[in-house]
Amino acid sequence: MKEKLEKLKQEILNNLNKAKSLDVFRELEIKYLGRKGELTKILKGIASLSVEEKKTLGKLANEVKMELQAKFRQAKEAVEGGASGKEFVDATLPAGEKIKKGRLHPITQVQNELEDLFVSMGFMVLDGPELESDYYNFEALNIPAHHPARDMQDTFYIAKETGEETKSPIGDLVSGVSREASDLVMRTHTSPVQIRAMQKYGAPFRGVAPGRVFRSENPDANHDHTFYQLEGLMVDKHISISNLTAVLKEMLSGILKQEVELRLRPGYFPFVEPGFEIDVSCTICNGPGCPSCKHGGWLEMLGAGLVHPNVLRAGGIDPKKYSGFAFGIGIDRLAMMKYGIDDIRLFNSGDLRFLEQF
Ligand code: PHE
């Protein structure tokens, strides 16, 4: 009996060593340790033995059973990759390479905030082309060709190849082919979207159009050839300057995270009448004057006014029935004020030491 037991134990261990899959373990478990298993049969047979034999053999049989059960468990865990395998964490290993997260450009952050503010006031957010026709950029905005108002915005005209060997006033002679200005310009402001919006949606209308604009400027700390604006337009019955100031105050207080006062000065923009230059109370000193506001207490922020009747007409809206306000704000300037940035050229510099601060 004892030998039989030892032999069986050896046989089971051999089979266990060979087994690689869970299915095989389960089969072996049933074959040997199950209710009708071979080891179970031997254990049952012990009952009919003499008291003396029962003592020694019973003990041995139980030991074999326990040993085999433990072996089964271990072998199964090794295959499953359980507690002893898969979950082992080596805390002494180096942490590995950190993945650098990108971030939004400060201008994009301010633009997103502006869009959210206007959407909350029921404005739609519009897009317009950066390469714009002379008609939308100037003509429809009440700035006729040859009018001195065109001088207010230094413009990049797009050249047109004529194939003729003559030199145009604004073109230059490139490899014997003369080039003259086409009727396309890099838009100098976001105002052309006013016309496009009125033509598409009619009145009443509430919308903003953020985007990139271009001017033929010599860059300095306050001017760049490429910058961002947000245009606002609201057309409805009985729109007045108080509607304009209410919306602007809401926007500026929202972005600058403090209550601001507005100051309206008369300003000339051909597409509004009356037109204003609008200043906000200095966010650093709140009025009395400090170096940031050059001791004036006010910071020049944006241009605005009531939409000129000619502009409403160009947009297909009857100025006798409807009126509107429009404004254009420099997003770069707003971001400079919000974050205390002193050079506009940093925005397009691609300098990570600057960009990673936001
Ligand atoms: N388009 C003007 C500019 O770029 C700003 C402006 C927009 C002024 C709307 C009045 C009304 O200077």
289: amino acid identity, one letter: G
Q: Work out the percent of the chain whose per-residue pLDDT is above 90.
A: 53
**Nearest CA residue ID for atom 12, ligand 1:** 303
Classify 259 as helix, strand or coil.
coil
Please, are residues 193 and 208 in contact by the beta-carbon 8 Å criterion? Answer: no
| Distance (Å) from CA 189 to ligand 1 centroid | 7
Residue 272 · residue 308 · CB < 8 Å: yes
Long-range contacts of 70-74 (CB under 8 A, 24+ apart): 71/13, 71/16, 72/16, 72/25, 72/28, 72/29, 72/33
Task: Tell me, letter by letter, the H, E, C secondary structure of 181-243.
Answer: EEEEEECCCCCHHHHHHHHHHCCCEEEEEEEEEECCCCCECCECCEEEEEEEEEEECCCCHHH
The pLDDT of residue 303 is above 90 = yes
pLDDT digits (tens, 9 = 90+) for 25-38: 788 888 888 888 88
pLDDT for the residue 160: 76
Q: To test the ligand 1 pocket, which listed residue (151, 271, 277) has its Cβ within 8 A of the most ligand atoms? A: 271
Average pLDDT over residues 102-117: 96
The overall average pLDDT reported for the chain is 88
User: Could you tell me the distance, in angstroms and rounded to a whole number, from the CA of residue 232 to the centre of ligand 1?
Assistant: 9
What pLDDT, in 10s, does the model give residues 215-248? Answer: 998 899 889 999 999 999 999 999 999 999 999 9
**Cα-to-centroid distance, 291 and ligand 1 (Å):** 27
The reply to whether ligand 1 has any atom less than 6 angstroms from the CB of 327 is yes
Q: How far apart are CA 308 and CA 314, in angstroms?
A: 10
Residue nearest to atom 8 of ligand 1 (CA): 303
pLDDT at 173 exceeding the cut of 70: no
CA-nearest residue for atom 2, ligand 1, is 328
Of residues 181 and 156, which shows the higher confidence score? 156
Q: How far apart are the CA of 267 and the centre of ligand 1, in A?
A: 10
Is any ligand 1 atom within 6 A of the Cβ of residue 298?
Answer: no
Beta bridge partners of 157: 185
Closest CA to 293 of 251, 249, 260: 260
- Whether the predicted pLDDT of 329 surpasses 50: yes
Pair 179, 162: CB distance under 8 Å: yes
Higher-pLDDT residue of 42 and 249 is 249
75 lines ligand 1 (CB under 6 A): no
Alpha carbon distances (Å) from 215 to 2, 221, 291: 102, 15, 29
Q: Could you give the CA distance from residue 248 to residue 246 in angstroms, rounded to a whole number?
A: 6
The reply to whether ligand 1 has any atom less than 6 angstroms from the CB of 303 is yes
Closest atom of ligand 1 to 330 CA is 4
